[in-house]
Copies of this chain bind each other. A is one copy, B any other.
Amino acid sequence: MEETGRTTHTLAALMELRKRILNGDFPGGTRLFEVPLAETLQISRTPIREAMSRLAEEGLLDRLTNGGFVVRSFTLADVLDAIELRGVLEGTAARLAAERSAPPAVLERLNHVLLQLDACFGRDANEVDFEAYSNLNGQFHTLLVTLSGSAVLQREIERATRLPFASPSAFLSGRTNIDVFRQSLHVAQEQHRALAAAIASREGTRAEFIAREHARIARRNLEYVMLENPELIISVPGLALLNS
């Protein structure tokens, strides 16, 4: 066989199918058939099956009762619930981090990220290094989960945030560098600070609810997109698979 970039056919199919699904090439509810996909991707049915199985694990496909897969379909309510769910889970991570003594070394790293996030803002309120912020924001959320000290929770949070629109950086991609989003970053960063402070001083309930509210920024951004700027839908990762 030819080299396809030093990877297995399964992984190639996985990435290609994921890309197409997130891109909206297959509307929600579309059934994916092995044979045509195998022909399209020029590989056999075996790695296609394996890839679809993993996409079901990711939550992008649903298994049919009598075999086969369909693209999972998401209503706006589903996406809002997925965001709320992330808030609940991250809130739990924050609470546990506060209740159980979070390791000082990791807390230190969290504060370091906090300072770096501060540095993303310029003197002018509208001046923000969007790219750097997005990257550091991801680090902050990862550290928060680590701080909880719960492998089980970490696993489920990673799972829930694998749906791109439920990820903490859903509205932070380069493609969505938009006034409204940029301005929300000041609020978000203040929440980051409060969250770190609450964890450091063992205020579990405070930490939990700050994290929930923090996730709701994404909810507001989503509502803005849907109601006032629908042409942005295609710019937000994963929103292409919103149906109806």
In Å, the complex CA distance between A57 and B54 comes to 8
Q: Count identical subunits in the complex.
A: 2
Inter-chain contact B151/A78, CB cutoff 8 Å = yes
Inter-chain contact A150/B81, CB cutoff 8 Å = yes
A53 interface contact, C-beta 8 A: yes
Q: Which of A77, A81, A152 has the most CB of B within 10 A?
A: A152
Inter-chain contact A78/B152, CB cutoff 8 Å = yes
Q: How large is the interface on A (under 10, 10 to 19, 20 to 34, 35 or more residues)?
A: 20 to 34
A92 interface contact, C-beta 8 A: yes
A127 interface contact, C-beta 8 A: no
Instruction: Select which of B54, B57, B81, B152 is within 8 A of A85 by beta carbon.
Output: B152
A32 interface contact, C-beta 8 A: no
A160 interface contact, C-beta 8 A: yes
Instruction: Select which of B49, B57, B81, B82 is within 8 A of A56 by beta carbon.
Output: B57
In Å, the complex CA distance between A88 and B157 comes to 13
Q: Which residues of B contact A151 (CB under 8 A)?
A: 78, 81
Q: Which residues of B contact A56 (CB under 8 A)?
A: 57
Inter-chain contact A153/B53, CB cutoff 8 Å = no
A217 CB to nearest B CB, Å? 19
Inter-chain contact B160/A82, CB cutoff 8 Å = no
Inter-chain contact A153/B57, CB cutoff 8 Å = no
Inter-chain contact B88/A88, CB cutoff 8 Å = yes
Instruction: Select which of B50, B82, B92, B153 is within 8 A of A152 by beta carbon.
Output: B82
A156 interface contact, C-beta 8 A: yes
A157 CB to nearest B CB, Å? 10
In Å, the complex CA distance between A84 and B156 comes to 13
The 6 closest A-B pairs by CB, nearest first: A81-B152, A53-B53, A81-B150, A57-B57, A88-B92, A82-B152
The digit string for A126-162, where 1 denotes a CB below 8 A from any CB of B, is: 0000000000000000000000001111001000100
For window 179-207 of chain A, which residues contact chain B by CB distance below 8 Å?
none
The digit string for A57-72, where 1 denotes a CB below 8 A from any CB of B, is: 1000000000000000
